[in-house]
Structure formats: C-alpha cells, structure tokens
Amino acid sequence: MKDNATEHERFVIIQWDREGGEESTYVSSGVKKTLENKCVMCHNEVASVIPDFTEFEQLKD
C-alpha cells in the first residue's frame, strides 16, 4: 500500500524503475531494503492477487 513507504522511498523506487530497474543497482539504490521493510509484508509468495516482491526475479517480471 502506498502509505507504507515514505514519499522519498517511493520516489527512489520509481526512479530506479525508470532508469531500467537493473539488478546491479537493486541493493545499492536502497530499493531492496525498502521493499523488504515496507512492501513484502503483503507482496509475498502467499499473496494471490498482488505481485510478489520477495525476489528480484519476480519483481523484474
């Protein structure tokens, strides 16, 4: 949910995605940490309707 991450964290994720969402910058950009701390509580393998963000490969899809 949008409210779980701060405006800055959402900006960083969007910017990372717009720049190609490369695995090489997934960790260094802070995207992985934000997703782990703010998103995967809902976006995980047991979520049936929303995307799974637990692994980079699934996120990239």
Q: How many domains does the chain have?
A: 1
Side-chain half-sphere exposure of 1, counting CA atoms within 13 A:
4
User: With helix as H, strand as E and coil as C, how does 3-14 read?
Assistant: HHCCHHHHHHHH
Q: What is the pLDDT of residues 7-41, one digit of tens each?
A: 999 999 999 999 999 999 999 999 999 999 999 99
pLDDT at 1: 67
Question: What residues make up the domain containing 42?
Answer: 2-60
Q: Please tell me which residue, 1 or 13, carries the higher pLDDT value.
A: 13
